[in-house]
Amino acid sequence: MKKYLLIGAILMKACNQSPTPPVADKEQYEIVAGNDSRMDNYYWMRLTDKQKSAKSYDSQTQKVVDYIALENQYKNESLSHTKQLQEKLYNEMVSRIKKDDKTVPYLKNGYYYYSRFEKNKEYAIHCRKKESLDAKEEIILDENKLAEGLDYFTLYGKYVSPDNNWLAFNIDTLSRRFYTIYFKDLRTGKILDTSIPNTEGDDIAWANDNKTIFYTTKNKTTLLSEKIYRHKLGTNTSNDVLVYHEKDIEFYTGVYRAKSGKFIIIWNNSTLVSDYHILNADDPDGDFVNFTPRGSAHEYTIIHQGNSFFIMTNWNAKNNRLMEVPDKQTEISNWNEVIPHREDAQILEIDSFKDHIVINERIDGLSQLRVFDQNSKVDHYISFEEDAYASYISINMEYDTNILRYAFSSLITPRSIFDYNMDSKENTLMKVEEPVDGYTSADYHSERIYIDSRDGIKIPISLVYKKDKKLSGPQNLLLYGYGSYGSTEDPYFSKTRISLLDRGFIFAIAHVRGGQIYGRQSYDDGKLFNKMNTFYDFIDAGKYLIKHNYTDSDHLFCSGGSAGGLLIGAVINMEPELWKGAIAAVPFVDVVTTMLDPTIPLTSNEWDEWGDPREKPYYDYMLSYSPYDQVDYLKYPNLLVTAGFFDSQVQYWEPLKWVAKLREYWQGENKLFLHTDMESGHGGKSGRFRRYKDYALNYAFLLHVAGIKK
């Protein structure tokens, strides 16, 4: 098949004709669930990790790789006329990045830590200075040296021992989110030969003896984190001791060191349940003790302070409340309420300091920061001047301090880092991550509007545009959404987005149900048997923007990634002619087949999010919206789909199969493209600049469909 398509493409080019899209082979595969069966003609595209990483491909692997190559070739040839535009967009985006940048230093255990970037280098250089910012710089890791010769590189987590002498760090060189732990002696600069593969990445905890660490390993098939081990520096890793094994396949697990330094904490989370086990950090060879018996529908977070734990919990509190318990008697019967539940405010996050507790709350859809003085028992909110924004607790590693570091951003305000004195209420701006190309926020306008969904629920839409590009009539508008896992898309600033705004696009975020824009109820109203609300809200947002003359169906575009890609797949099935174009990035589109198979990475942990299709009511409901299963003979909008061959979150074969099936049913003259990155996973390319190649492709596609050539 590949040979003849390549010949056909050459002939088409010679005759100045449009490239011909590839046609995938069909091989019937029956999927049986209960009393129902479905035929999947493209199931053959699924490969195992062993097949993908083999030095010599078997026939099936080669067939899959060849088909991906044909799709990439078709995309490249069809969009070849946008090559200069892609280059221009890429250069624009990169030009907004300060090349010799540096993060704001933070203090931890007597050292100031920061990361800096050198011109034309892809990766960060991580440094520290002892006691003073005027002290001599010590480079603890240079990612550029570690990444030499690698197509993909990610450093995920740097953990310094309590005595400041040892560094444990994690590296992924495949983009499959399997990390290897390495150790560096910060006194000599030597990286030890000892390494620990197949770890979680962000889970390393030092005990107070400065030689014991706890770490998390992953199941190589399901990719679920499941085991916690204890390792002693200088010993063979084969002697590492298993201290915890999470056997429930609906749970993730991990380990961390309490900010106070008193405890090592193992966490266990499913969609609906949290669980913790604690160990005194002075006794690394001791036994972990359960914080409180695991409940059936109880989610909570713990923070240690002094001789107590503070607990953010949904126990009899849908939007969470704050509790306190002595650290030697942590069973739930001993919990005492500190901040009660509120219907109009959701507690999102907590952080502790010696004399203060800081809470990130969501009120009226906006995140706010609330400070509690533990001595005076008085609290106050930090005030923000904009109508729609995002605020959140930043890096606060020091426990004995009255300074809170937080971040603030909006659709027109670049991310800004502040140090806030929690006693005097003095606010100090530490850094604005402003584009370096002369960006002026006064040239742009943002606002939040509210629409009524079809069932009467208020849905916020945050939007931004360039003032001198705003038209009195319909114009190009990109509507973005996510709507799953309770993840709320706050109005955030994007340097890349400027390239669209400056070309006359309006950008809008639909804060659909499935997120938690109005608290936990918004999440519950967009999951399981309420999942259709997520799609209805997004469609209703699009129709509102058309009705009120922001745009029309010849200028309305939509985009989303991962579970947001599911959103895009669903809405273009339901209302295909509402949209001029769409981008579905690493989309979760084969919902039923994936959720039927617990061997597929991350499936079992998400049955409480989507439903378990092994049960017929869930099977029928999920099948009713699954984008892959609902493909039909429709006039779909122009569509760009992206995938990562080593994606650990949404396996590459979901977008690949979806595109193959869409081609089979495609009606009309609109175009369908698939871009598969053969070197990356869920997050795309690694590195500081290379990732913008993907943004440039996405934007060039949008501009091409919109008829904008420059």
Active-site positions?
562, 647, 682
Q: In terms of Cα–Cα distance, which of 130, 114, 48 is closest to 652?
A: 48
CA pair distance 182, 414, nearest whole angstrom: 35
User: What contacts 502, CB < 8 A, 6 or more positions away?
Assistant: 466, 469
User: What contacts 369, CB < 8 A, 6 or more positions away?
Assistant: 358, 359, 360, 361, 381, 382, 391, 393, 404, 406
Q: Is 175 left (phi over 0), alpha (psi -120 to 50) or beta?
A: left
Dihedral sign of CA atoms 658, 660, 664, 668 in order: positive
Q: Which two tokens stand for residue 69?
A: 């190559």
User: What contacts 590, CB < 8 A, 6 or more positions away?
Assistant: 626, 627, 628, 629, 653, 654, 657, 658
Contact call for residues 569 and 558 (beta carbons, < 8 A): no
Q: In terms of Cα–Cα distance, which of 630, 708, 701, 697 is closest to 670?
A: 701
CA pair distance 74, 70, nearest whole angstrom: 6
Q: Which two tokens stand for residue 250?
A: 């609906």
Secondary structure letter of residue 128 according to DSSP:
E
Contact call for residues 360 and 368 (beta carbons, < 8 A): yes
Contact call for residues 692 and 684 (beta carbons, < 8 A): no
Contact call for residues 478 and 506 (beta carbons, < 8 A): yes
CA pair distance 396, 406, nearest whole angstrom: 8
Within a 13 Å sphere around the CA of 655, how many CA atoms are in the beta-carbon half? 36
Q: 403-409 and 416-421: which strand pairing?
A: antiparallel
CA pair distance 592, 33, nearest whole angstrom: 10
CA pair distance 588, 585, nearest whole angstrom: 9
Q: Which two tokens stand for residue 217?
A: 């390993």
Three-class SS of residue 655? Answer: helix
Q: Which helix (H) or strand (E) holds 257?
A: strand 252-257
CA pair distance 261, 160, nearest whole angstrom: 12
CA pair distance 608, 527, nearest whole angstrom: 9
Describe the crossing of helices 2-14 and 59-78 by its angle, rounded to 10 degrees. 10
CA pair distance 173, 153, nearest whole angstrom: 5
552-591: burial string, b at 16+ Cβ within 10 Å, e else: beebbbbbbbbbbbbbbbbbbbbbbebbbbbbbbbbbbbb
* Phi and psi, residue 532, nearest 5°: -60, -25
| Cα 76 → chain centroid | 27
CA pair distance 84, 631, nearest whole angstrom: 34
Scanning the structure block, which residue is given the tokens 């970037």?
117
CA pair distance 652, 231, nearest whole angstrom: 35
* Phi and psi, residue 209, nearest 5°: -80, -5
Q: Tell me the sheet residues that pair with 182.
A: 169, 195
